[in-house]
């Protein structure tokens, strides 16, 4: 598993992705039961599409070098990282998405959570959200990101986002921009100018 660089799955009906066990020294263990051991060290890109029964992607929290994540058309997906499942491992010290650069979420009607607490996202540059009506909160606060851009297809969605704190809300502004070749379709960008807060 440590040599896996890209993982993609599509057109499946499984409710949970089990990457199986990983080999650690002379014994075989599950990463969820040995969270302090590094795993999926080379995994940098994940593409999940058309997985109609998938409910969560908690194992991604152990992909410490993940840079690109696309999740689309998963009708039952409620969480990217599920709080209850991740808490089963206790205090692992794992900080998910520390190297994530881009996050693309599309056609996820039941998605409610990416992560339950704000994350620093030191490398994250872009989030794209389309047709995720129940995603009301993002794991961002005034300490997250640096010039992070959120692209969304619906103005009503970004206006309904519940920001973690007032500083984050004040540090964002809406810029309407036609970024599609179809001029009838407009996308909206929110620039999180976190570096300006407190200046």
pLDDT value of position 197: 33
CA distance 14 to 2: 24
What stretch of H or E contains 27? strand 27-29
Highest mean pLDDT (candidates 24-28, 112-116, 192-196): 112-116
Is the per-residue pLDDT at 44 higher than 60? yes
Average model confidence (pLDDT) across the chain? 77
| Tokens 């996202």, residue located | 121
pLDDT value of position 2: 67
**Mean pLDDT (whole number) for 27-38:** 50
Contact call for residues 167 and 199 (beta carbons, < 8 A): no
**pLDDT tens track for 122-181:** 999 999 999 999 999 999 887 887 778 888 878 788 888 888 877 776 665 544 443 443
pTM assigned to the model: 0.79
């Amino acid at each position: 598993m440590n040599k896996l660089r890209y993982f993609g799955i599509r057109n499946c009906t499984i409710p949970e992705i089990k990457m199986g066990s990983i080999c650690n020294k002379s014994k075989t263990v599950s990463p969820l039961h040995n969270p302090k051991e590094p795993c999926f060290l080379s995994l940098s890109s994940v593409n999940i599409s058309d997985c109609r029964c998938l409910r969560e992607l908690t194992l991604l929290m152990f992909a410490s070098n993940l840079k690109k994540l696309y999740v689309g058309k998963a009708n039952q997906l409620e969480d990217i990282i599920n709080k209850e499942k991740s808490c089963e491992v206790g205090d692992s010290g794992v900080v998910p998405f520390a190297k994530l650069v881009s996050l693309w979420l599309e056609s996820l009607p039941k998605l409610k959570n990416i992560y339950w607490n704000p994350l620093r996202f030191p490398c994250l540059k872009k989030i794209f959200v389309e047709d995720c009506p129940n995603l009301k909160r993002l794991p961002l606060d005034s300490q997250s990101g640096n010039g992070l851009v959120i692209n969304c297809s619906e103005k009503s969605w970004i206006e309904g986002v519940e920001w973690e704190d007032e500083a984050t809300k004040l540090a964002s502004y809406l810029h309407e921009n036609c970024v599609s070749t179809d001029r009838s379709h407009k996308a909206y960008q929110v620039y999180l100018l976190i570096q300006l807060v407190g200046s």
